[in-house]
Structure 1
């Protein structure tokens, strides 16, 4: 029995409750198309799509949108050579592109957060899972030491920190993606009494400024900012492994994007 694009999408969305409003869905391709290979990636960049085509993967599962907008899935609201070249690649390669953003975050627990927790090596330290974060009680270590371990385990060249590098941290909140805003992190500092928050990205005038004032008041708080992709790519790698287990007859490729920024 052939495996169709629709079958894969149904399997991915089944663990989460149905959503009335979502950006998830089949952006390009046909639901009835037979799947010959799957490529899973955080961001469907030009290079990632070229790599998927070279691997013979005709179904690409991407967490973020291909056209530089959370809402505009097909790039139809904009025109230009970058948009058109990318669309031409997808169409000429005969790819089906499935945006898988909202449903994966609605897994219990959130599969993207679980991927990051796993790659940090903190599964056994998690004491509470909130919809937006995992709370971990860690063996006490300095902020600097935790940051260095995070860089090594995630394979990223740099991260940003805020706080005394020698400050001992023992209770951390782990968040992914754009959950670094003060409306999300400050309650974790205050309600969960964490001394460290690890997140992808967020407004710099919210959480970092809260922590700066807390430090000025003598409160021992710290922040590790990984980057949006760096925090969520582990979840997509976890998804790829689960897909390979679910569909062993189909090759599943986990594609990795190069770091977006360079340190000068």
Structure 2
């Protein structure tokens, strides 16, 4: 399964840029051969291209028809569009630790998948007098760091950029079929072995689950992130998987449905990875996109780590 293709306007722009650079290189070479040796090699070195925050955001949004969407959460949380980018960090959450890492890398643009200020819409009026919010905001302002949330857009790429990142990390890309989407057919494996694979591939210490560890699992419904109980249950009803692998749940919704389904006699299991573990691979997807589309800008993936620990 391939990554989304670049839009033709950008490809044309790139080709023109390469052609002009090649002409400049040729002219410089002729001058060096026909005139006295000056030692100035700069004339034959391709200049590094710079981008603003807004240009990179717009370039990514061109991958998705209809973007930017109305009422989207994919907005700047700090900084401004006209800032010239010195480096990019991709991450799940722009935590204070991630911001400090960006500063040490000389990066002034963070592309985060989830909120920066503790609520879906990143509303901050209710946090105005809070010391934690002020500390974080002042740190971003002091170092002129732009933070852009890329949530709705990356999920709207076909196939979903977060989903494809997760499949790549699990080495499950070959099991993906566009006609079945997030319902994968794997070689039969026990629930226990499947859990071990997920923990190893995603570097997860522990997972929560419901099911018989000896159950054979072949039809896997993959729902990273926080799809919500109604969607999770609706997809279980429609697709009849052996196991659901999700990011997080409301414990009073999906978990109780699966428990009752098992009591009824259904062969249905549930594995809860955690939100970060299930969607962080989308930030790895972004690194690949950035290296392909803006190769002159240094981009680094910084994992925020898990906010919760196990005892």
TM range (shorter): over 0.9
Q: Deviations over 1:229-248 (max 9, x none)?
A: 11110111111122122111
For residues 276 and 99 of structure 2, the distance between their equivalents in structure 1, rounded to whole angstroms, comes to 17
For residues 279 and 269 of structure 2, the distance between their equivalents in structure 1, rounded to whole angstroms, comes to 21
Alignment equivalent of 1:155, drawn from 203, 206, 219? 203
CA contact under 8 A between 2:77 and 2:122: conserved in structure 1?
Answer: no
For residues 155 and 179 of structure 2, the distance between their equivalents in structure 1, rounded to whole angstroms, comes to 13
Alignment equivalent of 2:307, drawn from 239, 252, 260? 260
Aligned to 1:242: 289
CA contact under 8 A between 2:50 and 2:296: conserved in structure 1?
Answer: no
For residues 123 and 159 of structure 1, the distance between their equivalents in structure 2, rounded to whole angstroms, comes to 22
Equivalent runs, 1:92-103 vs 2, <5 Å = 92-103=142-153
Q: Deviations over 1:25-62 (max 9, x none)?
A: 12211211111100011001110111011100011111
Aligned to 1:207: 254
CA contact under 8 A between 1:180 and 1:199: conserved in structure 2?
Answer: no
For residues 127 and 222 of structure 1, the distance between their equivalents in structure 2, rounded to whole angstroms, comes to 22
Post-superposition offset of 1:168: 0.3
CA contact under 8 A between 2:90 and 2:283: conserved in structure 1?
Answer: yes
Q: Normalising to structure 2: TM-score of the pair?
A: 0.80
Cα distance, 1:13–1:72 mapped onto 2, change above 3 Å: same
The structure carrying a bigger helix percent of its residues is 2
Secondary structure of the corresponding residue to residue 141 of structure 1: strand
CA contact under 8 A between 2:50 and 2:297: conserved in structure 1?
Answer: no
Q: Deviations over 1:127-158 (max 9, x none)?
A: 3467xx61100000011110110010011111
CA contact under 8 A between 2:162 and 2:283: conserved in structure 1?
Answer: yes
Secondary structure of the corresponding residue to residue 73 of structure 2: coil
The total of aligned residue pairs comes to: 260
CA contact under 8 A between 1:197 and 1:222: conserved in structure 2?
Answer: yes
Aligned to 1:141: 189
CA contact under 8 A between 1:200 and 1:230: conserved in structure 2?
Answer: yes
Aligned to 2:126: 77
Superposition CA RMSD, Å: 1.4
CA contact under 8 A between 1:180 and 1:200: conserved in structure 2?
Answer: no
Secondary structure of the corresponding residue to residue 118 of structure 2: coil
Larger radius of gyration: 2
Aligned to 2:220: 172
Does structure 1 residue 186 correspond to structure 2 residue 233? yes
For residues 81 and 102 of structure 1, the distance between their equivalents in structure 2, rounded to whole angstroms, comes to 29
Unaligned runs of 5+ in 2: 1-48
For residues 129 and 205 of structure 1, the distance between their equivalents in structure 2, rounded to whole angstroms, comes to 31
Unaligned runs of 5+ in 1: none
Q: Runs of at least 4 residues of structure 1 off by over 4 A?
A: none
The structure carrying a bigger strand percent of its residues is 1
For residues 39 and 115 of structure 1, the distance between their equivalents in structure 2, rounded to whole angstroms, comes to 17
Does structure 1 residue 34 correspond to structure 2 residue 84? yes
CA contact under 8 A between 1:117 and 1:174: conserved in structure 2?
Answer: no
